[in-house]
């Protein structure tokens, strides 16, 4: 699943079309499916957590979320998507210079007034990738229920936005926190500082994308993620793993931790 750094990089890539006029295009998914987008000029791209906001000059915003399967691509003038991919397109923006922006297999597609963006992202916690992030508010939200496990808190987008399963696992290792440790026993300001530094590094440095160990060799890019049964890169203890269902009705997500570096509290 794309995480906050993934969407941050996506927005940076899509800014190549900022200022472009949409000459043909439409929404093919969501409540506004069938709505034409021609005549609008793209004014910018913004993010909040895992959410992408594409803004137009008529005061509207296209709000999308990729979840597990969505993607975006830009085709050059005269080029087309393979027909099997094009059939899954939920957004098409044909630009004046011949390029086309495609939002493929997007499960969330909303067209809202830019002034009403809060209706689609207002429920989210502070975004660690925003320059003006309110870390005090993030701490307040994260510590509101001190008995909740730290992993659950990190994954709750209403408390802090942009951290997904990879980051929840890797941050737990870096801070020496067992995934079941109550958030009320954690140094939350230090955790937020580490999370922000790692997420920003991943979002901005090209070769550092979701590399948490600083090592680019295959199998050594993450401290614990994907290393079940293998030696911990720090202490040599076998990394453990399990599947957790954080939200009833949602698919389980994999949890990894080193029992020595992240002892039970």
DSSP helix/strand/coil, 133: coil
* Helix, strand, coil shares, percent, the chain, to 5: 25, 25, 50
Phi then psi for residue 199, to 5 deg, are: -65, -45
Nearest to 72 by CA among 56, 89, 57: 89
CB contact set of 54 (below 8 Å; sequence gap of 6+): 14, 42, 44, 45, 61, 62, 64
Catalytic residues: 2-3, 50, 253
Cβ(46)–Cβ(77) below 8 Å? no
């Amino acid at each position: 699943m794309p995480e906050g750094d993934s969407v941050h990089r996506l927005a940076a890539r899509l800014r190549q079309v900022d200022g472009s006029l949409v000459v043909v295009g439409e929404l093919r998914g969501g409540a506004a499916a069938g709505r034409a987008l021609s005549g609008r000029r793209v004014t910018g791209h913004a993010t909040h957590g895992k959410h992408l906001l594409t803004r137009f000059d008529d005061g509207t915003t296209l709000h999308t979320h990729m979840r597990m399967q969505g993607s975006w691509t830009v085709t050059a003038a005269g080029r087309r998507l393979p027909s099997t991919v094009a059939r899954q397109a939920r957004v098409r923006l044909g630009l004046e210079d011949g390029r086309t922006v495609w939002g493929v297999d997007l499960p969330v597609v909303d067209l809202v007034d830019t002034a009403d963006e809060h209706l689609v992202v207002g429920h989210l916690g502070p975004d660690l990738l925003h320059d003006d992030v309110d870390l005090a508010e993030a701490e307040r939200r994260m510590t509101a229920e001190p008995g909740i496990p730290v992993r659950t808190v990190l994954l709750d987008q209403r408390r802090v936005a942009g951290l997904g399963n990879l980051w929840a696992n890797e941050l737990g290792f870096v801070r020496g926190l067992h995934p079941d440790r109550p958030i009320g026993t954690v140094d939350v300001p230090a955790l937020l500082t580490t999370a922000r530094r790692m997420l920003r590094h991943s979002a901005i440095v090209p070769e550092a994308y979701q590399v948490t160990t600083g090592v680019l060799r295959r199998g050594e890019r993450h401290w614990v993620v994907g290393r079940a049964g293998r030696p911990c890169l720090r202490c040599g203890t076998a990394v453990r793993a399990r599947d957790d269902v954080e939200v009833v009705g949602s698919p389980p997500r994999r949890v990894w931790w080193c029992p020595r570096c992240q002892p039970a509290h």
